[in-house]
Amino acid sequence: MDFYRKVRAQQDQVDDGTLKVSVFTEDGTRPVEDALVRISYTGESGQTVEEVRTDSSGQTPVLDLKTPPLEYSMEPVEEQPYAEYTIQVEAEGFENTEIAGTQVLPGVQAQQAVKMAFRAEASFERLVIGPHTLFAEYPPKIEESEVKPVDESGEIVLSRVVIPEYIVVHDGSVNDTTAPNYYERYRDYIKNVASSEIYATWPDDTIRANILAIMSFTLNRVYTEWYRNKGKDFTITSSTAYDHKWIRGRNVFDSIARITDELFENYLSRPDVRQPILTQYCDGHRVQCRNRGWMTQWGSKSLGDQGYSPIEILRYFYGNDMYINVAEEISGIPSSWPGYDLNIGAAGEKVLQMQEQLNVIAGAYPAIPKVNADGIYGEQTSASVRKFQNVFGLPETGITDYQTWYKIQEIYVAVSRIAELN
């Protein structure tokens, strides 16, 4: 049945979405230029629909691809709402890489990162992206208390809520000792989970509500050190029975990435509760959970359609005493957000720090022009910031706003660490 459903979905391509592929070295910090990228329908790898090469930033042009109708992702239906594409990548000096099952939705941009290993003894790597949780059946969530009784149990918890730089994802169920662990950047993890569990075609405020719930749940696992206190060596699992669905190597969507970058230091709180709330949810179609006081994903979509704000959506399900909080610290960030946008005419230490970081990044991404690090935000700095925004998928304003500031910090840390190791 699943096979025929997929065949029908492939034949029912009446809308359009877009795909951008970014090719990096295995550590994810250096772009791979002039890589050959072939794209075909999954299951029809011999029929190439696009063939392009990456630029100096390791990126392909934005490609227009066929998808199923938009309405398939707007309400629960039996038809697959996304198209599946296979991406094959070749580059001199690297192992050939293939990703099967990249999901493309209508009207939004899919972003597929491909990491390539330097050529060695190994054969080419093939990743297969599993189906979306709203389309396929996954184990339902095991109910847990939304606030962990850490005082009563004597468990060790963190002293304050901190946004971690990395989390360790156990790619299996809790007690599966054969499942591998992966170090994943916190924001990349959130983008991956949200792209696996909600549709990027939904209203922005619905996406915001769901991302806030995902982040709060994740930070509860971090704050309470839930699994480490049970003798495990990971932060969270990829099992829907215990946590969220994380799929190694899957693509994310631009709307989800943008909103995650906008909200990443937030989580959900209740009065007089220090820890982030373990905000559980279900789809509300295959699995019902309203009687548990949980959010339903399809219900949140309906409220978003009606114009509900993110906090209104969350309070509809979790109660009126739920509010949005801000973490005290962001781990791994060398200098904090100045509290205002940096634009032409700005000057001072924060501008200088940002300019110096941009120049380090430009060493790895030659498309980004280096600037005169003088602490003055002039036309040259604005142009460099604009190109940085272009490379990393941010609105191209030339202004260092909140999202741009933290993206510069993130890329700077990654690039400078690799430089130190070398």
Exposed / middle / buried, residue 258 (Cβ in 10 Å: 0-12, 13-18, 19+) = middle
pLDDT average, residue stretch 200-227: 97
Query: Going by C-beta distance under 8 Å and a sequence separation of 6 or more, which residues neighbour residue 114?
Result: 21, 22, 23, 24, 37, 87, 89, 97, 99
What whole-number distance in Å separates Cα of residue 406 and Cα of residue 333? Answer: 8
State the number of CA atoms in the 13 A half-sphere of 362 facing the CB. Answer: 19
pLDDT average, residue stretch 12-38: 92
| Residues β-bridged to residue 116 | 25
Q: What is the pLDDT of residue 1?
A: 46
Q: Is the pLDDT of residue 149 over 80?
A: no
Q: What is the pLDDT of residue 27?
A: 81
Q: What is the pLDDT of residue 422?
A: 47
Q: How many residues does the chain have?
A: 422
Range in 8-22, 294-308, 361-375 with the lowest mean pLDDT = 8-22
Give 233's pLDDT tier (boundaries 50, 70, 90): very high
Q: What is the pLDDT of residue 153?
A: 47
Q: What is the pLDDT of residue 421?
A: 45
Closest listed residue to residue 400, CA positions, set 360, 329, 350: 350
Q: What is the pLDDT of residue 123?
A: 61
Closest listed residue to residue 51, CA positions, set 85, 87, 11: 87
Closest listed residue to residue 197, CA positions, set 119, 281, 290, 115: 281
Q: What is the pLDDT of residue 330?
A: 85
Task: Tell how far CA 199 is from the center of its chain.
Answer: 13
Q: What is the pLDDT of residue 122?
A: 54
pLDDT more than 90, % of the chain: 82
Token duo for residue 156: 């060790």
C-alpha distance from residue 285 to each of 66, 159, 292, 296, 384 (Å): 27, 39, 15, 8, 47
Q: Which residue has the higher pLDDT, 7 or 354?
A: 354
CATH of region 2-128, choose from 2.60.40.1120, 3.90.1300.10, 3.40.50.300, 2.40.50.100: 2.60.40.1120
Give 2's pLDDT tier (boundaries 50, 70, 90): low
Q: Is the pLDDT of residue 190 over 50?
A: yes
Q: So where are the chain's domains? A: 2-128, 150-330, 349-421
Is this model's pTM higher than 0.85 or not? yes
Q: Is the pLDDT of residue 173 over 80?
A: yes
pLDDT digits 0-9 by tens, 61-81: 999 999 999 999 999 999 999
Q: Which residue has the higher pLDDT, 210 or 156?
A: 210
Range in 170-174, 248-252, 275-279, 325-329 with the lowest mean pLDDT = 325-329
3-state secondary structure the chain: CHHHHHHHHHHCCCEEEEEEEEEEECCCCCECCCCEEEEEECCCCCCEEEEEECCCCCECCCEEEEECCHHHHCCCCCCCCCEEEEEEEECCCECCEEEEEEEECCCCEEEEEEEECECCCCCCEEEECCCCCCCCCCCCCCCCCCCCCHHHHCCCCCCCCEECCEEEEECCCCCCCCCCEEEEEHHHHHHHHHHHHCCCCCCHHHHHHHHHHHHHHHHHHHHCCCCHHHCCCCCEECCCCCCCCCCCCCCEEHHHHHHHHHHCCEEEECCCCCCCCCCCEECCCCCCCHHHCCEEHHHHHHHHHCCCCHHHHHHHHHCCCCEEEECCEECCCCCCCCCCCECCCCECHHHHHHHHHHHHHHHHCCCCCCCCCCCECCHHHHHHHHHHHHHCCCCCCCCECHHHHHHHHHHHHHHHHHHHHC
What whole-number distance in Å separates Cα of residue 312 and Cα of residue 309? Answer: 5
